[in-house]
Structure 1
Amino acid sequence: METIKLAMADDEALFLNGLKSILEQEEQLNILFTASDGQSFLEQLKVAEQFPDVMILDLRMKGMDGIETTQQVKELFPEAKIMILSSHYRDTFLGYMLKLGVNAFLPKNSAPDQLIKAIEKVHEKGLYFDEGQMMSIHHELSSGKKPKVPQMEQSTELTRREVEILQLICEQYTNPEIADKLFISVRTVDGHRTNLLQKTGAKNTAGLVLYALYHQMIDWEERLLKFGISSKED
């Protein structure tokens, strides 16, 4: 199996370290370097002994953000393959991302298997947009409207009860177990879970866990250990 060389930039150390630990479990993936901002990423890229097959950037970073970083990387290395992960993901950003030259655009709370699939597709075919994204892009292009630069907003705030339930979900509690622990009905838990999926944009439990990791609602090292993953080198 061909090794895919990666490089990543994200100013959220917690998320970056967690993502790095997850991806390092895949034999076909090799992370060359990581950076905490766009400027540092560019500096490392220029002197790297090996060129990354796929680059993974955060959209919103302090200093040089993902958009500016992508522009500069593409100017220096037009054939570079860039994926952007963002907690500010919107389908309405897709047209601009395509125009920018981004090879894939995914929410940060995407399931790990979806992210790995996207990495492999970008490496193999140079592009990854799922069916729903392609429909959104087609609709935007057919409307004749000029793609707009993404305006990033803060994520919808979770209530204290939603945070509590999210933490229990990350502890692998089932809905009935959460109901018993919090002295509420299973139906109420179901409602909170639905709200969590809508507010976070997650599609499943794995997405909720990644959201919780990114927003520092749980200890990522403890969670990774529960899944048999260690973030520490042997």
Structure 2
Amino acid sequence: MNNPKIKIAIADDHAIFRRGIVSLLQNNDDFEVISQAANGQELIDNLNKEQPHVILMDLQMPVLDGIRATQQIKKELPHIKIIIISMHDEAQFVSHLMELGANGYLLKDADPDEVENAIYTVHNEDYYYGAFLLKVMHNRMINKPVKKIVPYFSIQVELSEREIEILQHICEGTTAPQIADKINLSHRTVEGHRNRIMEKTGTKNIAGLVAWAVRNGIA
């Protein structure tokens, strides 16, 4: 039996770019483009008819932009994965989108193979760290202020020493079972800590959590 297709929605106000993405994805038998939208409101209206597994979302759109559309969708339909595709490459801007719950972030000049890989990855593993996003995180870590030794006390989120330790392991790309082995805790206990950290920081997923940690000098 064939695996179900990954249903994809595309939101971008540039018709030429939309058509190019659709043409690319239609060449992959694993993908099915179920809707297209020229703005965030049209995208959300389409979600009332049929929900995709993954949304490819531009940011600068009329009526309702990608930032507000991401906030609304993640609040009402958090299971839908969102990959931002944008020309914006500012670190602070990218981190903010990840904290809002975006599952991946690509530049519009990304290689077609990377677009396909990002779709597979967010569908199967919840988030996608491409070379661009890793570079953003790396640069923020290098350029963060060093005078704040414990900057997490200056933000209104209190993490225990154990939570900070687990968060630092997460930022290194360590999985929950690997963290459990390293610090001699059960897998379930580590997941419990991770979920509490996400609640305290107001993040929606691992990508957002890592972005929050980097922005606040913990990673």
Q: Give the TM bin, normalised by the shorter chain.
A: 0.5 to 0.7
**What TM-score do you get using the length of structure 2 for normalisation?**
0.60
For 2:20 and 2:116, the matched residues in 1 are separated by 14
For 1:87 and 1:139, the matched residues in 2 are separated by 18
Q: 1:45-88 deviations in whole A, cap 9, x for unaligned?
A: 0122xx21111110111121100010111111122210010122
What's the CA shift for 1:132? 5.3
What's the CA shift for 1:19? 1.0
Aligned runs of 1:139-158 on 2, under 5 Å? Answer: 140=140, 143=144
CA RMSD of aligned residues (A): 2.2
One-letter amino acid of the counterpart of residue 116, structure 2: I
1:35 alignment partner, one of 21, 34, 37: 37
Residue of structure 1 in register with 2:9 after alignment: 7
For 1:67 and 1:79, the matched residues in 2 are separated by 17
Is residue 2:72 matched to residue 1:72? Answer: yes
What's the CA shift for 1:131? 5.0
Residue of structure 2 in register with 1:87 after alignment: 87
SS in structure 1 at match of 2:48: helix
SS in structure 2 at match of 1:140: helix
For 1:87 and 1:132, the matched residues in 2 are separated by 12
For 1:26 and 1:131, the matched residues in 2 are separated by 23
Residue of structure 2 in register with 1:153 after alignment: none
SS in structure 2 at match of 1:127: coil
Structure 1 spans left out of the alignment, 5+ residues: 147-234
Q: Which runs of 4+ in 1 moved over 4 A?
A: none
For 1:105 and 1:132, the matched residues in 2 are separated by 8
2:106 and 2:132 in contact (8 A); partners too: no
What's the CA shift for 1:94? 2.6
Aligned runs of 1:72-221 on 2, under 5 Å? Answer: 72-131=72-131, 133-134=133-134, 136-137=136-137, 140=140, 143=144
**What TM-score do you get using the length of structure 1 for normalisation?**
0.57
SS in structure 2 at match of 1:105: strand
1:55 and 1:81 in contact (8 A); partners too: yes
Structure 2 spans left out of the alignment, 5+ residues: 145-150, 155-219
What's the CA shift for 1:91? 3.7
For 2:25 and 2:91, the matched residues in 1 are separated by 25
Aligned length: 144
What's the CA shift for 1:112? 0.4
One-letter amino acid of the counterpart of residue 61, structure 1: M
What's the CA shift for 1:133? 2.3
1:56 and 1:85 in contact (8 A); partners too: yes
